Chain A
Amino acid sequence: MQVKEEFKPTIVAFCCNWCSYAGADLSGTNRLQYPANVKIIRIPCSCRLNPMFILRAFQRGADGVILCGCHPGDCHYTTGNYYARRRMTLLFSMLDYLGIERERTRVEWVSAAEGAKFAATMNDFVETVTKLGENKRLEDLRCKSE
């Protein structure tokens, strides 16, 4: 009997080194749980996130991509997250315009002190993406292992 396996989405979380990555560490230090499907990639600043990386993640099988950075005004590099905010807003709007589920992409500002927010955000995001199901609209079939 084949039991239908529960869908576990692949989530890529890009976290800026100074706030959100530290926030993620803090949620670990505080033993706050969030699903293992979330894998974090450390980037120096949210402004390092090239839209290319997001599309790449979807191509390679991600079902959701989230960017976490310092709160606006708190960027370690002063202005990085302001640029990231515009870039991501426009990119997400474009993905939505192309009919790709807008819930698959998200930006959250998580400070180094917000371990609880990090865990809560991830839990919520995983739940949202799980409900959406597999990424079909921006998939690259070549990358889906048979």
Chain B
Amino acid sequence: MSDMTEIVKRISGVNPRKCMKCGKCSGACPAYDEMDYHPHQFVDMVENGRLEELMNSRGIYMCLSCFACLERCPRSVEPSKLIEAVRLAVVRQQGKNHLNPEQIPELLDEELPQQAITSAFRKYRK
């Protein structure tokens, strides 16, 4: 699992050691209550190699990718990038089971922000 940690760090470009554990990410997170692990925990778990738990967690799919934590983080740790990377790691491990572009039209909603579509590509399993 330690290589996975490295992969996640590399994909995200995040250095979890920069975290000073202030919790501002979790303070800012609008989806806090939906998550089993919270943004500040994410960072801590990656740093401590608890990646398997993280990858199996539902919390990573609850993240809205709103980047509030990224924006607010005083240390530029940017937890949302980490969450994104963990999701990506899961997707890559599972093979090609993410959303297909062909399926998009039927799912498309006029009101849906572009950002949500993009993140949906990676986020939802078939």
Direct contact of A and B (CB under 8 A): no
Residues of A within 8 A of B (CB): none
Residues of B within 8 A of A (CB): none
